[in-house]
Structure 1
Amino acid sequence: MFTIRKATRNDCQGIAKVHVDSWKTTYKGVVVQNYLDSLSYEQKERQWEQADLNFLFVAVNHSNDIVGFVSYGPERTKNYNIGGEIYAIYILEEYQGHGIGKALTLHAVEDLLIHGYKRMMVWVLEENRNKGFYQYYLPHEIAESSFTIGNRQHIEVAYGWNDLNLLYQRLSAKGAREING
């Protein structure tokens, strides 16, 4: 059983652990290993302590441990006239495939709608083996961007949805809210 709830300042340590551990498992063999090895819980915790937690949900297990999170809000660059953006969504590897990503995304989309957003985007690393999660909900490709980590070049793809209400309906289909009990 999992619960999705708004994050609090007390969650920063757990969010940092999920952030670092997810990067180390998701991007192993994709991002240079010395970069992954350099990621630290303390650094990420400081980063999350400075973040706006008004746009952050966490997924917690029956022991109240954070096992995933979604961070979102206004589109950061203002270059795409899209309104909202999911900045990050990470779930510990052992908890993936159980509907947590769908539930976190549903909560983020619902909150964006409440705040008046009509459209949304998310940047996804081209090599991310979980990018099919986003593709399943029929986005359109907005842009591509390249960047370097270590000595390796990477491509990010921006996926967008022009109708957040429609995305909300797709996410609300059977199963997304069943894990919240």
Structure 2
Amino acid sequence: MTVITIQSANAKTNFDAIRKVYWQTWMTTYRGLVPSAVLNQLTPAVWHPEKRWRNTQLALNETGEIIGVCSYGPARLPLFADWGELYSIYILLAYQHQGVGQRLMAQALSTLRQKYQHLYLEVLVTNIDAQHFYTRLGFYRTTMTHSSHVSGGKLKTIIFASN
């Protein structure tokens, strides 16, 4: 059995390793869920996890490799002022469906709930597996959607909320 450790990021975290997790996860998990043009223009350099290191939880395997990342903080959408937001959760494909995401989320949600009464997140309309995951963790689907124009296409998300 693989031993996974959950810990907070710090200023000395290997942010290149986090960028790699983000990129690899997008290449595997989101293929078929977002336009190919979006995926084709991505490189690890598009992400800047060092900007959120104070609000990031990491999952490390037994050799200390970063295999999962969860980031969170204050709401970015004006409609949700005074709410906390789960920004992202990415788990390398080889470690998905093993409870790593639940452990990362538990730590992130515990931290968020210390400061915010209400939480929300955005999930791709096409990512049904993630929608089920968030529902199992107590989030509920709202009727609100959000569209983002990104290089290579448009991404449409559904807002999930939690009290």
TM over 0.5: yes
Q: Identify which of 8, 11, 35 aligns with 2:10.
A: 8
Distance 1:160 1:12 in 2: 29
After superposition, the C-alpha distances for 1:111-130 in whole angstroms (9 at most, x for unaligned) are 1123x211110100011133
What is the percent sequence identity of the aligned residues? 29
Partner of 2:94: 94
| 1:43 Cα deviation from its structure 2 partner | 3.5
Does 2:19 align with 1:20?
no
| 1:26 Cα deviation from its structure 2 partner | 1.2
* One-letter amino acid matched to 1:36: L
Partner of 2:147: 146
Does 2:120 align with 1:121?
yes
Which stretch of structure 1 is more off in the superposition, 99-108 or 124-133?
124-133
Contact 2:41 2:151 in 1 (8 A): no
* One-letter amino acid matched to 1:117: Y
1:4-153 mapped onto 2 (5 Å cutoff) = 4-9=6-11, 10-44=13-47, 47-49=48-50, 51-81=51-81, 83-114=83-114, 116-128=115-127, 129-142=129-142, 143-149=144-150, 153=154
> Closer, same or farther in 2 for the Cα pair 1:141/1:80, shift >3 Å?
farther
| 1:147 Cα deviation from its structure 2 partner | 3.3
> Closer, same or farther in 2 for the Cα pair 1:150/1:32, shift >3 Å?
farther
> Closer, same or farther in 2 for the Cα pair 1:35/1:117, shift >3 Å?
same
Distance 2:140 2:45 in 1: 36
- Relative to the length of structure 2, the TM-score reads 0.87
The alignment yields a C-alpha RMSD, in angstroms, of 1.8
Contact 2:122 2:157 in 1 (8 A): yes
Number of equivalences: 158
Task: Give every structure 1 segment of 4 or more consecutive aligned residues whose post-TM-superposition deviation is greater than 3 Å.
Answer: 147-154
Which stretch of structure 1 is more off in the superposition, 60-69 or 81-90?
81-90
Partner of 1:161: 162
After superposition, the C-alpha distances for 1:128-147 in whole angstroms (9 at most, x for unaligned) are 13321002234233311223
For structure 2, the 5+ residue unaligned runs are none
